[in-house]
Structure 1
Amino acid sequence: MRVLPSGDAAVLAELADLDEVLALHAALDAPPAGVLDVVPAARTVLVSFDPAAVPGDAVVRWVQAARPVAGARPEAGELEVPVVYDGEDLADVAAALGCSPAEVVARHTGTVWTVAFCGFAPGFGYATAADGDWAIPRRSTPRTRVPAGSVALAGEFSSVYPRESPGGWQLVGRTDLAMFDVDRDPAALLRPGVRVRFRDAG
């Protein structure tokens, strides 16, 4: 792990892979006074702080002193997402996994997913499966319009598009659950550490 300054009010921890990111994020669950946010990404963890309240070198030492436990995951509650599995790419995902569309649905709903980090759009959470091989290729040609609520897979991740946008993930279904609402607290349902269960809503 390398911990580097990122401007005057943040430090960035660079890690080898997503497992290390999740373990470090879980280990940084009790920030000292002055630390404002801990933001995981695919290979980094950004820690922002108030320079008037805590010096940057103290934040670096706090991050370096963390004791990540292999396999540890941050926890931020649970979310059930009802899904109608009628996505345009369901058959393609089944072919990629070497199974039937019904088996894709059974596998997708039969595992617990955990949001590792957020990005791309507000409320778009990259969730990883507790088990199973989900190496799903992205579409060769991204769509210019993916409807809000689309449930999708790409690489090792699953997510729900929080609003209409372009996108290249494989669409397997849809949900009516509002994933992001600025008038709600919290605004985003998919946040790092949230455990997600997708439920077949027929």
Structure 2
Amino acid sequence: MISINPSLVQYYPLGDSAIVIQFGEGVNPLINTQIRAVTAWLDEYTFEGFVEYVPAFTTITVYYEPWILDYKELLSLMKEMIADIGEIQEPDESGIIEIPVLYGAEQGPDLQYVADFHQISTAELISVHSQAVYLVYMIGFVPGFPYLGGLDERIATPRKDVPRSVVPAGSVGIAGQQTGVYPIETPGGWQIIGRTPLNLFDPDRAAPALLKAGDRVRFKAIDQTTFIEIKGAKHGH
């Protein structure tokens, strides 16, 4: 079991209609588990004046209607909530979501750059990237974009100095100590090493985002033929 130590949790206002709850520093699986326990509580026990919550790596921001309750009232409520949560069941780590990726060539235009940056072969880069199990720490930037922690330090690479104006949907990238997947076409500055044929965000699905915070992910290298087959099947061809 995991517990939250209330004395280590910090609170501070964000403008006049939000409170930030901070659980620690840095990308940390334990902090992520604590944040997900709080979001689960908020999903089940919403309160009058509650608007929404936004989880991040080390914080949850809770937005509220200040004409219904004031900051001091919300602060007291959040502290009670943290105290009531007590011990947290450790997350089930049995399920891993596999994401197929076509690495390199036009689908991964930065693969060679990242390999050269670390003085390794592209084959070794692909092997290292696809062997790890990643944790989805949060969804953000654009709908369905997963920020994945657990990238091997051997392939951690700074983001591009000049972002691309267009990054295709499904592009798999590296930025610093993180890896992630662009769910829709958008500008972006991550080093693009491959592309998945899966659709990570579809507003017509019951659950539009394929991934959610707390999911565990592994990438699987595929070839061009498999990429086309999966993409065709997705569109019903």
The answer for the alignment partner of 2:226 in structure 1 is none
1:156 corresponds, among 171, 177, 194, to 177
Match of 2:38 among 7, 19, 28: 28
**Is 1:183 aligned with 2:177?**
no
The unaligned stretches of length 5 or more in structure 2 are: 1-8, 224-237
Q: Could you tell me how far 1:149 is from its partner in structure 2?
A: 0.9
SS in structure 1 opposite 2:45?
coil
* Preserved contact between residue 134 and residue 157 of structure 1 (Cα < 8 Å): no
**Is 1:3 aligned with 2:11?**
yes
The change in CA–CA distance for 1:46 and 1:133 in structure 2 (over 3 A counts) is: farther
* SS state at 1:42 partner: coil
Question: Identity of counterpart residues, as a percentage?
Answer: 37
Aligned-partner Cα distance in 2 for 1:182–1:3: 34
CA distance in 1, matches of 2:95, 2:176: 24
Higher CA-based Rg:
2
Which residue in 2 is equivalent to 1:60?
79
TM-score, length-normalised on structure 2?
0.71
Give the equivalent residue in structure 2 for 1:17. 26
Which deviates the most, 26-35 or 92-101? 26-35
Three-state SS of the structure 1 residue aligned to 2:103 is coil
How many angstroms does 1:17 deviate by?
1.9
State how far apart, in whole Å, the 1-side matches of 2:125 and 2:65 are. 46
Tell me how large the CA RMSD over aligned residues is: 3.1
Structure number with higher relative contact order (C-alpha < 8 Å, ≥ 6 residues apart):
1
Please give the secondary structure, in 2, of the residue aligned with 1:126. strand
1:100 is displaced (CA, Å) by 1.0
Give, in angstroms, the shift of residue 6 of structure 1. Answer: 4.5
> After the TM superposition, which segments of 4 or more aligned residues of structure 1 sit over 4 Å from their partners?
5-10, 35-38, 48-52, 64-69, 72-77, 130-134
Q: Could you say which structure has the higher helix fraction?
A: 2
Structure 1 residues 190 and 134, CA gap change in structure 2 (3 angstroms): farther
CA contact (8 A) 1:26 1:68 kept: no
Give the CA deviation at 1:97: 2.8
Q: Could you tell me how far apart the structure 2 residues matched to 1:48 and 1:77 are?
A: 32
Q: TM-score if structure 1 supplies the norm length?
A: 0.82
Is residue 26–residue 75 contact of structure 1 (8 Å, CA) maintained in 2?
no
Number of aligned residue pairs: 199
User: Secondary structure at the residue paired with 1:63?
Assistant: helix
1:84 match: secondary structure: strand
Task: Kindly indicate whether residue 196 of structure 2 is the aligned counterpart of residue 196 of structure 1.
Answer: no
